[in-house]
Amino acid sequence: MTEATFIDGLRALAPHPAARGLADDAAVLGDLVLTHDMIVEGVHFLATDPPGDVAWKLLAVNLSDLAAKGAEPVGCLMGYSLAGDDAWDAAFLAGLAEALTAFDIPLLGGDTVSVPTGTPRALGLTAIGRGADAPARGGARAGDTLWVTGVIGAAGIGLARAMGGGDASDPCVIAYRRPVPRLAEGAAVAPLATAMMDVSDGLLIDAGRLAEASGTGITIMLDAVPVTAAAPPGLDGALAAVTAGDDYELLFALPPGVVPPGIAGATRIGSIGAGSGLALTYAKRPVPLPTRLGYLHGA
Amino acid sequence: MTEATFIDGLRALAPHPAARGLADDAAVLGDLVLTHDMIVEGVHFLATDPPGDVAWKLLAVNLSDLAAKGAEPVGCLMGYSLAGDDAWDAAFLAGLAEALTAFDIPLLGGDTVSVPTGTPRALGLTAIGRGADAPARGGARAGDTLWVTGVIGAAGIGLARAMGGGDASDPCVIAYRRPVPRLAEGAAVAPLATAMMDVSDGLLIDAGRLAEASGTGITIMLDAVPVTAAAPPGLDGALAAVTAGDDYELLFALPPGVVPPGIAGATRIGSIGAGSGLALTYAKRPVPLPTRLGYLHGA
C-alpha cells in the first residue's frame, strides 16, 4: 500500500472540517493549529546526518507547517525511538535544546520508546499553534498573484552534497540540515493570503498541490524564481531548484494588487489562472513541464 | 541509554509549567490537555495481535491519559508507519474507524511514512482534550483516600493468554487488546480529586509514582482491590493483578470524607499517608512489597 492509498483510507475517517480533508499542512480547529510530522532515517534524513541537525529538522519541519497557516507556536510534543546508540541520543538532545531555544517553543510532553538496535529511527513531533487567520491551501482564485519567500534550491544541492560526504559548514548543506521555518513571514502574510502552504517536496510539486486544492491553474515564471546562487545559471539551474525538496519556504497567493506586508524576501513568481495544472515560462516563453516535479518520499 | 535516562535529559529541556516536569499523564496548557503516546510492536503490542485491535489500543491509551486529567477529547493526530503489509494496514484502518466512532473523537491529521518492510511498527498518536480541572499526579495529601475505577488484572491475564495463542473472544484477551478509557469517570472525578492518573504499567508501580509525585506515602489494602474474577483467589491472585499492566483504569485520591460523584464502579483501595513509598495490607496484616511492581516497557 502506498502512502497515497493509505491516506485515501484515512481521509474517509476524517470528515471533520478541522481536518481539512487531510490535504492541508495542518488541522485548524477554532484558533488552534495542529500538525504532526514524522521523519524517518533513510527517507527524510540520512543515517550520516549529525543527530543534532536531525533534532533541529524534526522541529523545523513541523513549525514550517504552523508557519504555513500563519500560526504562532505554543508548544510541542515529541515521540522518540531509542535505538540503542547513546552518543546519537545525547547529540540529538543537544540539538533539540538548540532548536527549542532558537524557535522559542516549549517542549510540553511526548513519549520515548525503545526499539530494537538497528531499527531505522522514526521520529514524530506534534506542534500546536494559535492563529486566527489560517489560510487554506485551496483558496487561491484566478487573478491572484503567486509568491514565495526566501531562496529555492539550496537544500536540494545540500542534500546531494551531504550524500557525497559534504562539508558541514557548506551553506547548502546547512540549508538542508537546518531549515528555518518562516514563522514571522507566515504570520504577516496569513491575514491577506487566499492560499498558503510550505514548500517541502519541491516548488513545482507543491505549487501543483495548491492549484489542485484551489481548483485553478498556476503559471510560474521560472526566471522570476529566487534560485540559490549555488545552482547553475539559466533554465537548467532553475529547473533543478524548483524540483528539489526541503526548502521549507512559504508559497502563497495574494489577491490582485496586494503585496506582502512588511516582510523581507518575498518574490512574486507567477499567477493563478483559470483551468488546472501548472504552466511554466522562462523569459516569457513556455517551458515544458518536467516529468519529475519534486521529491516524493516513499513513492 | 534507558528510557529513564533519556527522559531525564528531556526534562531539562521542558521547564514550562504546562509540561508538568514530564511526570504527568499529559501536558496541561490553560484548558488544553495534550498527550502523545507511542506503541511499538513487540513492546506494547504483539506482532500477532489483530491490527484492528492495535488501532483501538493506540487511540485508547492516549484517551486514557486525557481521562486521567478529566479532559474531554476534541481531536487526534496519528503518526503511522507503513511497513509493507497491505492486509495489516487495511485491517488497522478498519479498527481505527471503529475506535474513532466508539470514542466519538475526530481524526484531525497526522503523517504517514514508509519504513523498510520488516521494521517493527512504531505508531504514535496525539490526543487533544479540553478540561478546566486537570488534577496533577502530585497533589495527594496525607489523609486522602485512594480509589480505583473498574477491575484490575484482567488485561495482564489476557496478555499471557494472547501470547499463548489465546481466544479472541476471551474477556481477558479483549481487556488486553481493547481497553476502554474511563473518560466519563475521569471528567466526573477531576473537579474533586487531589491527584489522578491512569493505571497503565501496573497498579502498584503507578501508585508508587503517584506517591512519589505527591511526596506522600500510600497504603493499599490488597483485599479491597477489585481484582478480576479470572485471577486465582486470595493474596496470590491479588498480587498478580496489581503488578500486571494494561488496565487503563483511573487511580485517584480524594479529600477525607469525599466520595466519587455519580460514577459506577469506583472502589476505595487505600489511603494516603505521611512518609513515602508503598505499604500493602491484606486482611489488615502487612504484606511485603513484591520486587516487581509492574510492567516496565523497555526497562
Task: Write the DSSP assignment of B212-279 as a string of letters.
Answer: HHHT-EEEEEGGGS-B-TTSPSHHHHHHHHHT-----EEEEEE-TT----S-TTEEEEEEEESSSEEE
Cα separation, B201 vs B108, whole angstroms:
28
Over residues A48-65, the mean pLDDT reads: 97
In chain A, the percentage of residues whose pLDDT exceeds 90 is: 88
Selecting from B13, B79, B107 the residue whose C-beta is nearest the C-beta of A19 gives B107
What pLDDT sits at residue A299? 35
pLDDT tens digits, B148-205: 999 999 999 999 999 998 899 999 999 999 999 999 999 999 999 999 999 999 999 9
Of A295, A296, A299, A188, which Cα lies nearest the Cα of A250? A188
Express each pLDDT in B58-80 by its tens digit: 999 999 999 999 999 999 999 99
pLDDT in the model for residue A1 = 81
Candidate from A58-62, B1-5, B34-38, B217-221 with smallest mean pLDDT: B1-5
Are A84 and A160 part of one and the same domain?
no
**A258/B contact by beta carbon, under 8 A:** no
> Which residue segment(s) compose the domain that A63 sits in?
3-130
* Residue A292 touches partner B, C-beta closer than 8 Å: no
What confidence score (pLDDT) does residue A297 get?
58
Confidence of residue A295 (pLDDT cuts 50, 70, 90): confident
Strand, coil or helix: what is B125?
strand
Cβ neighbours of residue B195 closer than 8 Å, sequence gap 6 or more: B135, B136, B137, B138, B139, B140, B144, B210, B213, B214, B252, B253
B113·A298 Cβ contact <8 A: yes
* Domain of residue B79, CATH code: 3.30.1330.10
Sequence-separated (6 or more) residues with CB below 8 Å from residue B206:
B197, B198, B199, B200, B251, B294
Residue A283 burial (C-beta neighbours within 10 Å; 0-12, 13-18, 19+):
exposed
Domain-terminating residue out of B101, B130, B159? B130
ipTM: 0.94
**Segment B273-292 mean pLDDT:** 96
Domain-embedded: residue A34: yes
Tell me which chain B residues have a C-beta less than 8 angstroms from the C-beta of A107. 10, 13-14, 16, 19
Instruction: Say whether both B218 and B259 belong to one domain.
Output: yes
Percentage of chain B modeled with pLDDT above 90:
87
Distance from CA of B47 to the nearest CA of A (A): 14
Contacts A119 to B, Cβ<8 Å: 119-120, 122
Please name the helix (run of DSSP H) or strand (run of DSSP E) that holds residue B119, with its range, or none.
none
Provide the β-strand partners of residue A254.
Answer: A145
Cα separations in angstroms, B250 against A113, B43, B77, B135 = 23, 22, 24, 12
Nearest C-alpha of chain A: how many angstroms from B16?
6
Which residue type sits at A293? L
Helix, strand, or coil here: B290?
Answer: coil
Inside any domain, residue A185: yes
Say whether both A114 and A159 belong to one domain: no
- Alpha carbon distance, N-terminus to C-terminus of chain A: 10
pLDDT of residue A298: 42
Work out the mean pLDDT of chain A and round it to a whole number.
Answer: 95
Q: In this structure, is residue B140 part of a structural domain?
A: no
Annotated binding-site members of A for Mg(2+): 25, 35, 37, 65, 111, 198, 201
Among the three residues B106, B130, B154, which one is the final residue of a domain in this structure?
B130
A120 to B115: CB separation less than 8 angstroms, yes or no: yes
| Pairwise pLDDT comparison (A44 vs A9), residue with the higher score | A9
> B110 in a domain, yes or no?
yes
User: How many domains does one find in chain A?
Assistant: 2
Say if residue B247 is in the same domain as residue B161. yes
What average pLDDT does this structure show over A254-274? 92
Residues of chain A in contact with residue B39, where contact means CB-CB under 8 angstroms, are: 113
Put simply, whether B87 touches A (Cβ < 8 Å) is no
**Average pLDDT for residues A287-296, to the nearest whole number?**
90
In three-state secondary structure terms, B281 is strand
Q: Which residues, other chains included, contact A207 with Cβ-Cβ below 8 Å and sequence gap of 6+? A: A146, A218, A220, A251, A270, A278
- A125 lies in some domain: yes
A43/B113 CB distance under 8 A: yes
pLDDT interval class at B236 (50, 70, 90): very high
A265 touching chain B per CB within 8 A:
no
d(CA B197, CA B206): 8
A159, A273: one domain = yes
Quick check: is A241 in a domain?
A: yes
Structural domain contains residue B292 = no
Greater confidence (A20 vs A119) lies with A20
Residues B108 and B198 in one domain: no
- CA-nearest residue to A299 within chain B is B114
Measured CA to CA, the distance from residue A156 to residue A22 in angstroms comes to: 26
Q: Which of A130, A157, A187 represents a domain boundary (last residue)?
A: A130
Task: Decide if B282 is inside a domain.
Answer: yes
Q: What is the pLDDT of residue A120?
A: 87
Distance CA A81, CA A69 (A): 29
Q: pLDDT digits over A229-247, tens only?
A: 999 999 999 999 999 999 9
Pairwise CB contact (< 8 Å): A89 & B1: yes
pLDDT digits (tens, 9 = 90+) for B101-130: 999 999 999 999 988 888 889 899 999 999
Residue B221: per-residue pLDDT: 98
CB spacing of A107 vs B16 below 8 angstroms: yes
- Which residues of chain B lie closer than 8 angstroms to A114, CB-CB? 2-3, 40, 43, 297-298
Chain A's closest residue to B96, CA to CA, is A13
How far apart are the C-alpha atoms of A25 and A200, rounded to whole Å? 10
Same domain membership, residue B8 and residue B112: yes
- Shared-domain flag, residues B278 and B191: yes
Residues A252 and A166 in one domain: yes
Question: pLDDT of A163-194, one tens digit each?
Answer: 998 899 999 999 999 999 999 999 999 999 99
Whether the Cβ atoms of residue A84 and residue A117 lie closer than 8 Å to each other: yes
Distance between CA atoms of residues A14 and A10, nearest Å: 6
Does the beta carbon of A87 lie under 8 angstroms from any beta carbon of chain B? no
pLDDT (0 to 100) of residue A264: 75
Neighbour-count burial of A202, counting CB atoms closer than 10 A to its CB (0-12 exposed, 13-18 middle, 19+ buried) = buried
Instruction: Tell me, yes or no, whether B153 and B273 share the same domain.
Output: yes
Task: Mark yes or no for CB contact B108/A19 under 8 Å.
Answer: yes
Query: What CATH number is associated with residue A152?
Result: 3.90.650.10
Tell me whether B160 touches chain A (CB under 8 Å): no
B292 touches chain A (CB under 8 A): no
pLDDT value for A25: 94
Give dist(CA A93, CA A82) in Å, integer.
Answer: 12
Mark whether A190 and A279 lie in a shared domain: yes
Q: What is the mean pLDDT of residues B211-235?
A: 97
Q: How confident is the model at residue B297 (pLDDT cuts 50, 70, 90)?
A: low
Q: Give the minimum alpha-carbon distance from A284 to chain B in angstroms, rounded to a whole number.
A: 39
In chain B, whose CA is at the least distance from the CA of A119?
B119
Distances (CA, A) of A291 to A204, A205, A231, A294: 11, 11, 20, 9
Q: Are A189 and A273 in a shared domain?
A: yes
pLDDT, tens only, A189-210: 999 999 999 999 999 999 999 9
pLDDT band per the 50, 70, 90 thresholds, residue A8: very high
Q: Which A residues in the span 96-115 are in contact with B, Cβ-Cβ below 8 Å?
A: 96-97, 100, 106-115
Q: What is the secondary structure of B39-79 as a DSSP string? A: EEBTTTB-TTS-HHHHHHHHHHHHHHHHHHTTPEEEEEEEE
Question: Any CB–CB contact under 8 A between A116 and chain B?
Answer: yes
* Among B127, B50, B57, residue whose Cα is nearest residue B90: B50
Please indicate if the annotation marks B137 as binding a ligand.
Answer: yes
How far does B78 lie from chain A, in Å, by closest CA?
7
Q: Does B288 touch chain A (CB under 8 A)?
A: no
